Structure 1
């Protein structure tokens, strides 16, 4: 009886290492077995990480929207948005002015009779900047402060005196320069501050007496060697007939909430009026910023029945709570009034609607209605800011949620590393097992080949 054995010719396309004996694609088989083993836990990790990252991104969007709302509240909270004033000078060549507080609306007649100036004086002519001035001690004083220079033949040229004055650490407020004309070089001293009290005094002592060429004291009847170019004097002005003066040409405190900038002698009228535009702009920005938050919230919590898809934060208690609280505050009453008096109303869809006409009318009172609504410890600004502070910031609710999710992602990363390590070990184990099987199959194939040869020989003998 003849026994037929199948061909043992190796199958082409197999790996040159594993599988040569068995004819199996061992590498693919191991990969599929490991993938099947890994899939359930891998899918769990992947899905949890995707959800956590989505929530993290969503919380970032909510946090950014709330931070923007905080910023929009800044000028409303400190009241600057409602206390804005326009300040207009009829002749800016005479006077300029800016609001530095909350000036009362009205007009003022300003008469500038004299500008404040700093003392400027020049020495007599020297041959040139290298000429020696003299030896001894030169003292320069301004309003009770002074400095002294000890000058010798090694450091007493006109240029060296100039440099010593300018570089002195205890300089009381004097600058020096050299002006050279047809008659020679002059040391010119200038006070760095305007006003009669800031005029300087220069005196000399000891040495060869040459430093007396720089002596100057406005109070002295004689002995002044310097020639005055510009005298030190105060600014002089009157406001509605009330006289005033000051050491500088920028005058604060003469009119409550205003800083006057004197430019030249002359008369002008200064007008202060309410500026509702800043308050209106701040409230419009608040409405837009609030509506931006609402849009983000609705997008993150919506459900599309047609597609069956839900927002990343649908049903999230924290986010729903934030939205509900904000809605309650902006739609409620504070200090006996509400946003409605300013033309701002809460809509059915949760957004705010601004009536610009009504807002303009409300702001025509100089911001009083708005200040009443937002101001004080029980005002809308305090209520909103109190909640916003609890939600955003390094210790806020959203920071706590973000930290928790970040820890979850870190744990998932560790789980992924552990899973990868286990699967690597499993791969190595499967490879070892199939390699052993492959070796066994190779031996069996060799035995089968030998037996085939024996049977073929036996068949040939039987045919004879």
Structure 2
């Protein structure tokens, strides 16, 4: 008689049948979930790219001009200069008689003293600055106030506001309290008010005339030759007397030296760099969009972009290209060396740009325009206005698409939960059925063995 054997595992069989029961719906749901997730990531990336490009446009065009000015000294050892967009081309002569310096003084003969309180005042240019409480300066709480504790109290005093730094310097065994003004100019000269210092020895040491390590003085620069030009005195070595120009002087000249010449002129290299950034930033955004709408190429293993079949994103792609190609004439992008290639990306011919600027220097600003709110104009203004239809935080397309995609993802999550429950229900049903079948099969096998023992061939 044949033997009935176990040929399956109930759990494995149940899992296989439950999977088969839900596999078609699971495949569709998995694909939809993957697409929704990819769309969310792509929309977030697109929002970031558009926002970054709009910020770049604003930065490039908020200075009223794409043209760059340069300011240089005939002797760079005397100082450096930079020109803003409002600087006017010209030549200026300066003689640097003296630089502004920060005051540094030292008080010698200081020793540990009884911590019996009082206040020490710090003054700047003869005017009251701030004071420290010598009683609280005794940080370790013993009966002795040290010079280091005084220095630490000066540095930690909230009303100091970083105006002076204090340190301890020991020279040949003699302790000195070093005070350094953080600002240049005569108004930063340091002095001490010891009227409220209680300890007589400490008061005497701090009342003695200090050593002037560095005298605080104002800068003195002549517009023109020394003695015959116009003197300009101020506390800082940074001068802004020429409109749109910042000059930083770093070295004083000797009497009789020739004044240094400041030249303000157009900076073609700087202008080319700004226009190149305009080109590069546009291409960067276009590259992001192109990848999203790419049709793909199965023969090369290239998958289509996440928005390959999305007409709205394709319109975004074509509108940006048309805005650049739609400007023609003598003052066109092409005239300034900014050429749109067949795929819509931009390239820059720096030589052509420089040549056209010499012919029509203001035409570039009129062409590119501005994306500043209230004064939007030109290509930058048109691009920014159109991109706001996508980037607006109130009713922009990106906001609407992200909200719709979020709703879709929520719906897909609920559908997945329902499908998981259907799988679990099917699995339990199949597991019960095949477990019962396995039990019945085991009983039949047992009975078969018993019959064979009773009636089988005993020879």
Q: Report the CA distance shift for 1:107/1:10 in structure 2 as closer, same or farther (over 3 A).
A: same
Q: After the TM superposition, which of the residue ranges 439-448 and 359-368 deviates more from structure 2? A: 439-448
Q: Report the CA distance shift for 1:226/1:293 in structure 2 as closer, same or farther (over 3 A).
A: closer
Q: CA deviation at 1:113?
A: 0.9
Aligned position for 1:269: 261
Deviations 1:333-369 (A, max 9, x none): 4999543342224444433343333222234579633
Cα distance between partner residues in 2 of 1:161 and 1:306: 78
Cα distance between partner residues in 1 of 2:442 and 2:173: 118
Matched pairs, number: 430
Q: CA deviation at 1:246?
A: 0.4
Q: CA deviation at 1:416?
A: 2.0
1:93 pairs with one of 69, 72, 77:
77
2:241 pairs with one of 254, 265, 284:
254
Structure 2 counterpart SS, 1:193: strand
User: Does the 8 Å contact 1:112/1:264 carry over to 2?
Assistant: yes
Aligned position for 2:62: 78
Q: CA deviation at 1:245?
A: 0.8
Q: Report the CA distance shift for 1:155/1:393 in structure 2 as closer, same or farther (over 3 A).
A: farther
Q: CA deviation at 1:370?
A: 2.5
Aligned position for 2:7: 14
Q: Report the CA distance shift for 1:359/1:442 in structure 2 as closer, same or farther (over 3 A).
A: same
Structure 2 counterpart SS, 1:110: strand
User: Does the 8 Å contact 2:185/2:234 carry over to 1?
Assistant: yes
Cα distance between partner residues in 2 of 1:426 and 1:389: 51
Aligned position for 1:146: 129
Aligned position for 1:397: 397
Cα distance between partner residues in 2 of 1:151 and 1:448: 107
Structure 2 counterpart SS, 1:320: helix
Aligned position for 2:366: 372
Aligned position for 2:256: none
TM-score normalised over the length of structure 2: 0.74
Cα distance between partner residues in 2 of 1:184 and 1:450: 113
Note the 1:343-422 alignment, pairs <5 A: 343-364=337-358, 368-373=362-367, 374-375=369-370, 376-392=375-391, 396-422=396-422
Structure 1 counterpart SS, 2:95: strand
Structure 2 counterpart SS, 1:69: helix
Note the 1:164-183 alignment, pairs <5 A: 165-171=154-160, 173-176=163-166
Q: CA deviation at 1:105?
A: 2.1
Cα distance between partner residues in 1 of 2:295 and 2:391: 26
Q: CA deviation at 1:269?
A: 1.6
TM-score normalised over the length of structure 1: 0.74
User: Does the 8 Å contact 2:69/2:85 carry over to 1?
Assistant: no
1:331 pairs with one of 325, 330, 334:
325
Q: CA deviation at 1:73?
A: 2.2
Deviations 1:424-447 (A, max 9, x none): 212322343455566667788899
1:107 pairs with one of 72, 75, 91:
91
Note the 1:32-71 alignment, pairs <5 A: 33-60=17-44, 62-71=46-55
Structure 2 unmatched ranges of 5 or more = 254-258
Structure 2 counterpart SS, 1:146: strand
Cα distance between partner residues in 2 of 1:135 and 1:299: 74
